[in-house]
């Protein structure tokens, strides 16, 4: 059974994939779906959902439906960008540590442990505040607190693969270490990297939302976390201003977790046999 067939054979991962694809489609099509941007004031503040405003309005009279669609763009962008950066750093350091071992491994793992012993969210808050709240500083902050888990996973994979026969054969053929790492060992270590990456996107979205809720998001952009943070003063009188962005975050993270579980099963060789 092929990878796609194994992944699509389970209803839960398939459901997660469909939901996440729908969220991405809405985010990309937001400029086509709405005639005005997310910052435009369209009516009275705190109007409940109804005709003309299917998701109501927020504390300053902006259309919540438009904000949710455009907010998905920022939340997904931060999640994907920070995950890609973290995976790049983690794969590079983990591959070098696992392949060479010895002093190199000890040194790189001590650096990794240094980042892991510091409370992750506190570190992200300090970094974002120090760099000034913006989209790029949020990506940098989330990247620096998430790459160690990738590095440890990749290191473990390389430690188990570096003594295999195909690696020894590549050395006998005269391949350079870099070529062996990236063309021989890394492709065989990809399954757990793919799985953990899907989970990290969801965690990055949660972290970005928490930072934005605390006022550390980009003030010029609207994300789901920013919507919740700016509306928390009205949450008791206008539930939709905080509940709807929260539901969007919850559904997106759950969909990504479902996808991660499905990838874990589909990439598991024992399940394939």
- Give the highest mean pLDDT range of 7-16, 18-27, 38-47, 191-200: 18-27
Angle between helices 11-28 and 64-100 (to 10 degrees): 120
CB 6, CB 272: distance < 8 Å: yes
Instruction: Tell me what pLDDT residue 272 has.
Output: 46
The CA distance from 61 to 49, in Å, is: 12
Q: What is the average pLDDT across 9-27?
A: 93
Burial pattern 103-115, b for ≥16 Cβ within 10 A else e, equals: eebeebbeebeeb
C-alpha closest to that of 73 among 36, 137, 30, 41: 30
Instruction: Tell me what pLDDT residue 269 has.
Output: 52
Nearest-10 Cα torsion for 149, 218, 213, 72: -80
C-alpha 104: how far from chain center: 29
Where residue 264 falls among pLDDT bands split at 50, 70, 90?
Answer: confident
Instruction: Tell me what pLDDT residue 139 has.
Output: 95
The CA distance from 30 to 70, in Å, is: 6
Mind listing the pLDDT tens digit for each residue in 205-246?
A: 999 999 988 888 888 888 999 999 888 888 888 999 999 999
Any idea how long the chain is? 273
Q: Which residues contact 205 (CB under 8 A, 6 or more apart)?
A: 75, 76, 78, 79, 224, 249, 252, 253, 256
**Backbone torsions φ then ψ of 48, nearest 5 degrees:** -70, 160
Mind listing the pLDDT tens digit for each residue in 111-168?
A: 999 988 889 899 999 999 998 889 999 999 999 999 999 999 999 999 999 888 999 9
The CA distance from 180 to 172, in Å, is: 11
CB 149, CB 173: distance < 8 Å: no
Structurally, what CATH architecture does the domain formed by 3-272 represent? Answer: Orthogonal Bundle (1.10)
């Amino acid at each position: 059974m092929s990878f796609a067939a194994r992944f699509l054979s389970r209803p839960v991962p398939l459901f997660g994939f469909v939901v996440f694809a729908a969220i991405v489609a809405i985010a990309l099509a937001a400029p086509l779906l709405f005639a005005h941007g997310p910052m435009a004031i369209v009516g009275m503040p705190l109007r409940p959902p109804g005709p003309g405003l299917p998701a109501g309005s927020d504390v300053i009279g902006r259309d919540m439906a438009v904000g949710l669609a455009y907010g998905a763009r920022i939340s997904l962008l931060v999640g994907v960008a920070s995950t890609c950066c973290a995976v790049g750093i983690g794969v590079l350091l983990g591959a070098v540590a696992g392949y060479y071992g010895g002093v190199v491994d000890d040194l790189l793992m001590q650096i990794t442990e240094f980042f892991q012993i510091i409370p992750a969210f506190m570190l992200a808050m300090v970094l974002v505040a120090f760099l000034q709240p913006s989209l790029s500083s949020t990506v940098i902050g989330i990247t620096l607190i998430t790459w160690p888990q990738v590095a440890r996973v990749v290191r473990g994979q390389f430690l188990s693969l570096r003594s295999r026969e195909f690696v020894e054969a590549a050395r006998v053929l005269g391949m350079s270490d870099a070529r062996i790492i990236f063309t021989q060992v890394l492709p065989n270590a990809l399954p757990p990297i793919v799985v953990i990456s899907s989970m990290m996107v969801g965690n990055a979205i949660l972290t970005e939302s928490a930072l934005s809720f605390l006022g550390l998001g980009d003030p010029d952009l609207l994300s789901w976390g920013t919507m919740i943070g700016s509306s928390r003063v009205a949450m008791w009188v206008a539930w939709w201003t905080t509940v709807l962005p929260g539901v969007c975050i919850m559904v997106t993270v759950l969909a990504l977790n479902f996808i991660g579980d499905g990838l874990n099963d589909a990439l598991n060789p024992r399940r394939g046999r």
